[in-house]
Amino acid sequence: MEETRKKKSPFEKEYEIAWDKYSEKDLKKVSGLSDRYMDFMSRCKTERECVEEFRVRAEKAGYKNLQDLIKQKKMLKPGDKVYAEIMGKTIALFVIGKKPLEEGMSILGAHIDSPRLDLKPNPLYEDADLALFETHYYGGIKKYQWVTLPLALHGVVVKKDGSIVNIVLGEDEDDPVLGVSDLLIHLARDQMKKTLAEGVEGEDLNVLVGSIPLKGKDAKNRVKHNILKILNEKYGIVEEDFVSAELEIVPAGKARHYGIDKSMIMAYGQDDRVCAYTSFEAMMEIENPEKTCATLLVDKEEIGSVGATGMHSRFFENTVAEIANLQGEYSELKVRRALSNSKMISSDVSAAFDPNYPEVMEKKNCASFGKGIVFNKYTGSRGKSGSNDANPEFIAELRSIMEKHNVIWQTAELGKVDQGGGGTIAYILANYGMEVIDAGIALHNMHAPWEISSKADLYEAKKAYYAFLKEA
């Protein structure tokens, strides 16, 4: 006897599992995108590394440096591709549309900074015949998660003569790794009585880097001096150079397939490079749009979007003004109109439901793995504090676009109302009066050294971002 299935009501919304919809062709696309993304995540663990990768790929795709065009007094025309960057840590990409700029742009915005440990300006010291780096954590972390892990050192050292030394240590198979020690369980009676927040103090996140002393028993700090000797031989730097360095301690190792079925990805920094990468790939597919398309990949979101490379800076506004000028359309009023008439997706991650911690979620209003890109009408915390609250007219337009392009999507808020929350760059762009909504990929382990995403959600997000740029 044939099993009868209950028909879905035409009035109900059913959030679909993407895997159920995929053809063999779709699965190949999912796999290809995932492989490219994992390669990117394995190599690009700092803002500078991300920007450099995006710049190189953009130039291969025909994008021109805005500053070069300004110097050459080259005028922009529809279909032209251009990029601008600031301080090597934020990049903006544009494809010039057929419509006047003042009619607005279709904008994707994501951030490329991630929680980590930064070296202090004077980091290297010796204690008990061991050499260590002192660190200052960046962004919101659970400090206890960063002990007893293999860690790598990424960043730049700028010498007094202005020359830049790039450092990546701990990623190659032959490289040593670094790490932060933890107290052995046998002696941890007092530590175990502390709260998770207090079990490991910020000032105790010191990275062990060496134990061999320099020859000469009369010398002081021989292990430290030996480390300095090795660094000088390998990179040509001295201790004072740490003052003008930007060095980050990050988890060592490549992004990996996750799960027996390889349906997920484990990688460091998926908040928010998973949205940045998919936004970038979508942008690379845009050709000759009606409206100017922009993708903005920014720094400093994890510490409030401050500074010259954060979203609060005038970088994006100034760049739009320069583009208007190279189109022969510049006026302050036209730039203001261009920004206020724009539409934007603030591409940032959300929290996926975790059956290990169901108590912090409200099931009808949370994201799940495999159900596509997540639209967040609002973020913020508790009473929507710090939130951009998207307009229903804009959401209705996005629903139509997603349906047209067969994008699987879901909607969510970040946990139960009183549990806490989070924010993105959405509210900053909304200050211009443009339509903005948060939309991104759901993660497990957000802000942990190793975060988890669904390959299906990765694929649907890229489709969604492309559809938005094409249609909005």
**Which among 251, 286, 307 is the end of a domain?**
251
The parent domain of residue 381 ranges over 18-114+268-471
**Domain check: are 124 and 108 in the same one?**
no
Percent of residues in the chain assigned helix, strand, coil, to nearest 5: 35, 25, 40
Asked whether residue 148 falls in the same domain as residue 247, the answer is yes
Mean pLDDT of the chain: 93
- Regarding whether 426 and 448 lie in a shared domain, the answer is yes
53-102 pLDDT per residue, tens: 999 999 999 999 999 999 999 999 999 999 999 999 999 999 999 999 99
pLDDT score, position 8? 66
Cβ(438)–Cβ(352) below 8 Å = no
Whether residue 127 is predicted with pLDDT greater than 60 in this model: the reply is: yes
Out of 251, 283, 308, pick the residue that ends a domain.
Answer: 251
pLDDT level of residue 184 (50, 70, 90 thresholds): very high
CA neighbours within 13 Å on the CB side: how many for 177?
A: 14
Same domain, 315 and 463: yes
In a domain, residue 220? The reply is yes
- In this structure, the answer to whether residues 150 and 49 fall within a common structural domain is no
pLDDT band at 260 (very low <50, low <70, confident <90, very high): very high
Residue closest to 231 by CA, chosen among 179, 171, 165: 165
In this prediction, residue 4 carries a pLDDT of 44
User: Are 305 and 298 contacting, i.e. CB atoms less than 8 angstroms apart?
Assistant: yes
Q: What is the band of 384 on the pLDDT scale with cuts at 50, 70, 90?
A: confident
Residue 420 has a pLDDT of 66
* Neighbour-count burial of 320, counting CB atoms closer than 10 A to its CB (0-12 exposed, 13-18 middle, 19+ buried): buried
CA neighbor of 250 nearest in space, from 34, 24, 448: 448
Q: Which of 83-92, 166-175, 277-286, 425-434 has the lowest mean pLDDT?
A: 425-434
If asked whether residues 223 and 335 sit together in one domain, one would say: no
pLDDT at 246: 97
Q: If you ran DSSP here, which 8-state letter would residue 146 be given? A: G
Answer whether residue 312 is part of any domain: yes
- Do the Cβ atoms of 467 and 374 come closer than 8 Å? no
pLDDT for position 368: 94
Name the residue type at position 76: L
User: What is the CATH classification number for the domain harbouring 47?
Assistant: 3.40.630.10
Among candidates 283, 263, 373, which has minimal Cα distance to 91? 283
In a domain, 259, yes or no: no
Q: Count of domains in the chain?
A: 2
* Among 192, 219, 251, residue at a domain's last position: 251
Strand pairing class (292-298; 350-351): unpaired
**Secondary structure letter of residue 17 according to DSSP:** P
Going by pLDDT thresholds of 50, 70 and 90, the confidence category of residue 3 is very low
Higher pLDDT, 262 or 416: 262
Task: Clarify whether residues 239 and 346 are in a common domain.
Answer: no
Residue 386 confidence (pLDDT): 75
> Is the confidence at residue 343, as pLDDT, over 50?
yes
Domain co-membership, 94 together with 41: yes
Q: Closest Cα partner for 256 from 11, 111, 60, 452?
A: 452
Nearest to 272 by CA among 389, 425, 382: 425
Q: At 123, list the tokens.
A: 């980091």
Residue 156 Cα distances to 175, 236, 425, angstroms: 18, 12, 27
Asked whether the predicted pLDDT for residue 209 surpasses 70, the reply is yes
Kindly state whether residues 121 and 65 are assigned to the same domain: no
For residues 110 and 276, is the Cβ–Cβ distance under 8 A?
A: yes
Confidence label for 446 from pLDDT (cuts 50, 70 and 90)? very high
| Mean local confidence (pLDDT), 386-403 | 91
Phi, psi torsion values for 401, nearest 5 degrees: -65, -45
Distance from C-alpha of 377 to C-alpha of 202, rounded to nearest angstrom: 35
DSSP string of 62-87?
T-EEHHHHHHHTPPP-TT-EEEEEET
**CATH number assigned to the domain comprising residue 209:** 2.30.250.10
Given a cut of 80, whether residue 383 has pLDDT beyond it is no
| DSSP state letters, 231-285 | HHHHH---GGGGGGEEEEEEE-S--EEESTT--EEEETTHHHHHHHHHHHHHHHT
Using pLDDT thresholds of 50, 70 and 90, give the confidence band for residue 42. Answer: very high
On whether both 108 and 46 belong to a single domain, the answer is yes
Mean pLDDT calculated for residue range 388-397: 90
Q: Is residue 352 helix, strand or coil?
A: strand
Whole-prediction pTM value? 0.94
Give the pLDDT band (50/70/90) at residue 179: very high
Q: pLDDT value at position 377?
A: 85
